[in-house]
Amino acid sequence: MRYVTMAALAGVVVLARPLAGQDSQFGIRGLGSPGTFMSVRAWATGGALAPFDGTSALTDAALADLTRLTASATEFSAYRTVDDGTNSSSLRSSRFPMLTVAGPVTGRLVIGGGFSTYLYRSYDVEVPGVVVIRGVPEAVVDHIASDGAVTDLRLAAAWRFSSRLSVGAGFHILTGSSTLTADRFFTDSATYKNASQVDQESYDGLGVSFSLLATPIPSLRVSAFLRSDNRLRAEISGFQNAQNDLPTTFGGGLQWAVTPEVKLAGAVTHANWSVSGPVGGAFNTTNWSVGGEFGRTSFPVRLGVRGGQLPFGPGPAAPTQLGISAGTGFVFSQGRGLVDVGLEHLRRSGGGLTENGWILLVGLTVRP
Amino acid sequence: MRIGRPTLFALGIAAVLAGCTEDATAPGKCPGFCPSGQLAVVDTILYIISRDSSHIGYVQADSAIDMLAINAFGVDSRPIFKLGPVPNRLAVSTTDTTTSAALSVDSALLTLNIDRRDTLATNLRISLYRLPLTIDSGTTLGDLSGPFTDSLVRTVNVDSVLALPGGVDSIAGDSVVATDTTRITLRVVMKLDSAQAAYVAADSGRSAFGIRISADSLASVAFRTLAGGAGPILTWWATFDSSGTNVHRVIGTAVNLFNSFVHNVPMPALDSNLLVGGVPSARSLLRFSLPRNIRDSTQVVRATLLMVPITAPVGVPSDSVILTFARVSADLGAKSPCIPVGSLCSAPGAGDSSVVVAEPVRMNATDTIATDVTLIVRAWQGDTLGPQALMVRQLPEGANLISLRLYSSRSTAFRPALHITYVPRYSFGSP
């Protein structure tokens, strides 16, 4: 057994080849690639459990389910291949997209907060070309990159009116920054010096969110949520570089506890991202997810599927995405600690470009 | 064989850790999957040089690193130098410090170092003349017409001696040795007998000589001077009485006290054009006014300074003209110090072409002189408080009779220009 473990570990390390993730080529021309606001537990169900998960940042009302102080962190490594029909590239990245801390203040009031990634804004594009300078064609390679994200700082509270109804509200501060790089490399570097420009772009914005979580019958839970963000302002060196409206997002979810060891859920989210960009470049998105959690709480099996659209991309229609996920969790220290792992295969396509890849997820939840 | 939970978690964590590296670079599929902005290149010629001026008198012939001996193209230049005193007494015995006077001064060896010559010159001959001890920096060629006519000491055919085995003429006692692999630089040793050396006790052995060269063609030689680190030296030999036995000893080496060269090239005169080089040397100061939008908001990828000579430099090929363009730390006109402060605006630093660059000028041609000053312009962008000015001088300074006259900003058609290629500030697109 020990040798099998070691061999499997070695195999994973060696075969961990660049393949997909939350950073996406589809966000380059827009504001970025939206975050998921999901814990690893919810992510492994395709996001179907996110509206009912207090360690996710999707809804505030779900905080009411936390009966003790709970801190949760999410980390993922994404491997993706980008195929534009001509070139295929293997990319990889690691992110720490979410941290939540929440706990009850009184028997009915739970407050929480933390950060999560609102928009992923990392990309790195190389564009070769030829420019004619002083009458001579010169080969160049342009290298334009962004490394950063828009982060959502959340302060939220949930109130449990009864065992059947909870409501929540949150206040969101959008912040963060990206390091922007633009380089032009000349093949004839003896004649032409390379040009390099680096700027720091910072973001700010505000948002509010409201949600409710109802349990009409003991085995059925219903969630509804609404979030409105005002605008995203970007500044470089203290000067406003851009300002874009942000969408209003709303959605709902349904969770059915078939038995104590079988939970099925589904969720739908809609966001009017079209307000964020010019017509033809930004699209409203509807995303859905279906999934479930099976087995004992100490060692569940989670499965899920999610799909929908991405808000930014070239062409007349929004790019689409489809993800299939699975995962499990491991309870330790008499339930005070929980490690969740997950794996998602994600495919995104649109505008003649396809991204395929895997996301490996690890989450740690501590309940002291 | 069952894989348990610890295995699964270990696998997951190991896989995540294995992915903790970034590789986000992908070919851009433009325009759909590229940032909205595009990098551009602008190429333009700027006439931004104004208040350019020339100044003369920096390096005189007597402080140059070379003495010029030229006998070609109507140019007649002759090195002159003075050698110091040597006592005619010596402690002959190794056990007794008592000195004794020389019975006779027998001979002397004059060592000269050739720094530059044209290897195509054949039958290069060095003629040594005795000059009066009164020579100084004010001495002219006309002043020495007499000694150069009637005071020939001897003549050595450099090429003939160099061709001998080991470069040694065992009969005459001369030798010519190449001091580098190119066989351009030579050490010439001329033996003078007692009459030729003519030790004058009243002058403590002080002596002065002049050199005139001749060759079948291309007679142009630069002798290294004291300032150049290897001026002429004269080694005296004498006979002493050592306990009844005559012994032959070196009594001393006369060091170079003064060196210069006299010539028939008139001193270059300043006019509305720019003047660089010559003897005494002239420099030109070019003042630039880089537009603020280029200085502050672009990245210069190439900058070429264009200057047009009025007349072609004429001389033997080895008398190549090299111009240096040095940044100044303060614009004080003719007295502008170069960077680093205290430097002589001289040779390019070790690879630091953001401070000074050099450009050779073709002989016998009036081609536009195009000098790459990219790193200098970039340095001006980085140091916006420093003066945008270049001091143009010849290298080596004061050791080349060829002066270069260039069109100045007063010439509308051929004024200096800066051909500049830059990348404007990239405008990152939305958010």
Q: One digit per residue, pLDDT tens: chain B, 431 residues? A: 455 666 666 666 665 555 556 777 777 778 788 888 888 999 999 999 989 999 999 999 999 999 999 998 889 999 999 999 988 888 777 777 788 888 888 899 999 999 988 888 899 999 999 999 999 999 999 999 999 999 999 999 999 999 999 999 999 999 999 988 888 899 999 999 988 988 888 888 899 999 999 999 888 999 999 988 899 999 999 888 887 888 888 888 998 899 999 999 888 889 999 999 999 999 999 999 999 999 999 999 999 999 999 988 877 766 778 999 999 988 898 888 888 765 666 655 545 788 889 899 888 888 999 999 999 999 999 988 889 999 999 988 888 888 899 999 999 999 999 999 999 998 886 66
What is the CA A278 to chain-centroid distance, rounded? Answer: 23
Contact: A330, B25; criterion CB under 8 Å: no
Q: CB of A29 within 8 A of CB of A312?
A: yes
Q: Convert B373-389 to b/e letters by CB count within 10 Å (16 or more is b).
A: bbbbbbbbbeeeeebbb
Torsion-angle region of residue A84: left (phi > 0), alpha (psi -120 to 50) or beta? alpha
Closest chain B residue by Cα to residue A123: B24
Residues B258 and A142: their CA atoms lie apart, in Å, by: 60
Give dist(CA A191, CA A264) in Å, integer.
Answer: 65
Could you tell me which residues are beta bridge partners of residue B186? Answer: B114, B178
Residue B222 to residues A53, A312, B65, B255, B348, Cα–Cα distance (Å) = 90, 73, 9, 19, 21
Residues of A in contact with B297 (CB under 8 A): none
Which two tokens mark B379?
């340095």
Q: How far apart are CA A170 and CA B163, in angstroms?
A: 97
Q: What is the nearest CA distance from A312 to chain B, expressed in angstroms?
A: 10
Structure token pair of residue B175: 């030798």
Q: In whole angstroms, what is the distance from residue B279 CA to residue B398 CA?
A: 5
Count each helix (H run) and each strand (E run) in chain A, helices first. 2, 18
Instruction: Using an 8 Å CB-CB cutoff, list chain A residues near B417.
Output: none
Distance CA B84, CA B100 (A): 21
Q: How far is CA A36 from CA A79, A249, B21, in A?
A: 17, 12, 22
Candidates A174, A197, A203, A204: best to mutate against B (most CBs of B within 10 A) is A197
pLDDT reported for residue A8: 37
A309: nearest Cα among A352, A252, A270, A254: A270
Nearest Cα of chain B lies from the Cα of A246 at a distance, in angstroms, of 11
The Cα-based distances of A183 to A103, A198, A216, B122, B238 in angstroms read 47, 8, 58, 56, 74
pLDDT at residue number B12 = 61
- Name residues whose C-beta falls within 8 Å of residue A190's C-beta, 6 or more positions apart in sequence: none
DSSP state of B348: P
pLDDT digits (tens, 9 = 90+) for B317-374: 667 789 999 999 888 988 888 887 656 666 555 457 888 898 998 888 889 999 999 9
Containing B11, the helix (H) or strand (E) segment is helix B5-18
Q: Which residue has the tokens 């028939």?
A: B264
Q: Do B41 and A193 touch (CB under 8 A)?
A: no
Residue A1 CB partners (closer than 8 Å, separation 6+)? B1, B2, B4, B7
- Say what angle helices A2-15 and B5-18 make with each other, to 10 degrees: 20
Using CA coordinates, name the residue in chain A closest to B21: A93
How many Å lie between the alpha carbon of B356 and the closest alpha carbon of chain A?
17
* Closest CB to B431 among A143, A203, A315: A203
- Which 8-state DSSP code applies to residue A334? T
Residue A332, CB-side half-sphere exposure with 13 Å CA sphere: 11
Does B431 contact A339 at a Cβ distance shorter than 8 Å?
no
Q: For residue A277, give every residue at least 6 positions away whose Cβ sits within 8 Å of its Cβ, in sequence order, or none.
A: A30, A31, A244, A312, B430
Measure the CA–CA gap between B421 and B310, rounded to whole angstroms: 27
Residue whose C-alpha is closest to residue B190's, from B102, B125, B133, B240: B125
Flag if B24 and A343 touch (Cβ within 8 Å).
no
Beta bridge partners of B9: none
Predicted model pTM: 0.82
Number of Cβ pairs < 8 A linking chain A and chain B: 211
Task: Report which residue type is found at A155.
Answer: L
Query: CA-nearest residue of chain B to A191?
Result: B302
Distance CA A251, CA A59 (A): 10
- B7, B28, B31: residue with CB nearest A8: B7
CB < 8 Å to A182, chain B: 37, 39, 426, 428
Per-residue model confidence (pLDDT) at position B17: 59
> Considering only CB atoms, which chain B residues are within 8 Å of A242?
429-431
